[in-house]
A = this chain, B = another copy of it.
Amino acid sequence: MKIIADVMGSDKGAKELVSGAVAALREFEGIELVLVGNENEIKAALDECGCDTSSLEIVHTETVIEMCDDPLSVNRAKADSSMSTALRLLKEGKGDAVVSAGNTGALFAGASLIVRKIKGLNRPAIATVLPMTPPVLLLDSGANINVTPEYLVQFAIIGSEYMKKMYGVESPRVGLLNNGAEETKGTELQLATYALLRECDKVNFVGNVEGNKIPQNACDVLVTDGFTGNILLKNIEGMGKLMMNTLRGLFTSNFGTKMAYLLTKKQLSAVKKNFDSSEHGGAPLLGIAKPVIKAHGSSNAKAFKNAIRQAAAYARSGMIEELNAKSAELFPKKKASVKAEGSEE
């Protein structure tokens, strides 16, 4: 399983990501690596990890897509960037999956334009595993700000497949994020989506899910538009951080509480792990025709390592091949009215 890792353009720099990639190479069986980025930086980082350059491939690139760059620069002004190159290598079959911690919008645009999407699907989505017990897959978590009810139904289908293949959930419960449990709730988008999902025999729709029910095991797959999904995802992240900071403050307030810290250290580290999204790796770009994983922009070595593990598991799962094989049945509308909807693309 050959993973193509774009090691440029993240918040913490190439050195951090290379060290994560090396850890993946050492820890996980059957992994080969192609590191894409500035060769000098990569070689220096490998040297620091005590990793022989002969144990992996390096593809040198000069240009880097920065966090502030226009997403479309990935296929235009910066078409020779590390990210664009990684995606082209994937397209050409020079590896089995791409992992990048760079600009999310650019990775999504680049994957859509270079690697392309599963046939019949209207739009790919960024799917994120929320740090809940059991895990909840949120999609779209930021790529598609404007969606249609049909997109959301397709998100439900591809999200369900992911939870089946990757988490072994037999019949994933699909929830529609909404401002109330009743089917009359929401904007026109939610009303129309509810009606479509209720009639859809390809997913196990369990109804509307409110914001407070997400940590309460209400569903396995949560579908929403990319705007709301992004607000929700970042809020969960922010609340998790607030919680960890609050605990830190609590335990450092006096001698007694410092003792208490020592007594609960083991349990605390489990709590921290529970709320740590980097434990789940990165966010798959579901619907792209080959595995592309977005690692968090501020990924440390561990998070990048986990994203590589996840990319390998996603590639091995055979999910994309199956979706392609069943696409006529899963995404029939598109196929039936390809001309009428052509402008959508």
Q: Which residues of A contact B (CB under 8 A)?
A: 132, 142, 145-146, 177-180, 186-187, 210-216, 226-228, 230-243, 246-247, 250-251, 253, 256-257, 259-261, 263-264, 267-268, 271, 274
Contact partner of A231 (CB less than 8 A), chosen from B177, B237, B250, B253, is B177
Contact partner of A186 (CB less than 8 A), chosen from B145, B215, B234, B259, is B145
**B256 touching A271, Cβ below 8 Å:** no
Q: Which residues of B contact A240 (CB under 8 A)?
A: 239
**B179 touching A145, Cβ below 8 Å:** yes
A186-B145, A227-B186, A227-B187 in contact; A250/B267 too (CB < 8 A)? yes
Q: Which of A132, A215, A241, A261 has the most CB of B within 10 A?
A: A215
Copies in the complex: 2
Q: Which residues of B contact A260 (CB under 8 A)?
A: 259-261, 263-264
Q: Which residues of B contact A227 (CB under 8 A)?
A: 179, 186-187, 228
- What is the CA–CA distance of A338 and B222 in the complex, to the nearest angstrom? 42
Q: Which residues of B contact A271 (CB under 8 A)?
A: 246, 250
**B215 touching A238, Cβ below 8 Å:** yes
**B264 touching A251, Cβ below 8 Å:** yes
Of all chain B residues, the one with the shortest Cβ separation from A180 is: B230
- What is the CA–CA distance of A261 and B251 in the complex, to the nearest angstrom? 11
Of all chain B residues, the one with the shortest Cβ separation from A255 is: B263
Q: Which residues of B contact A187 (CB under 8 A)?
A: 145-146, 227
The A interface is mostly helix, strand or loop, or mixed, namely: helix
Q: Which residues of B contact A132 (CB under 8 A)?
A: 242
- Distance to closest chain B CB from A231 (angstroms): 4
**B238 touching A235, Cβ below 8 Å:** no
Of all chain B residues, the one with the shortest Cβ separation from A231 is: B211
- What is the CA–CA distance of A188 and B268 in the complex, to the nearest angstrom? 43
- Distance to closest chain B CB from A138 (angstroms): 11
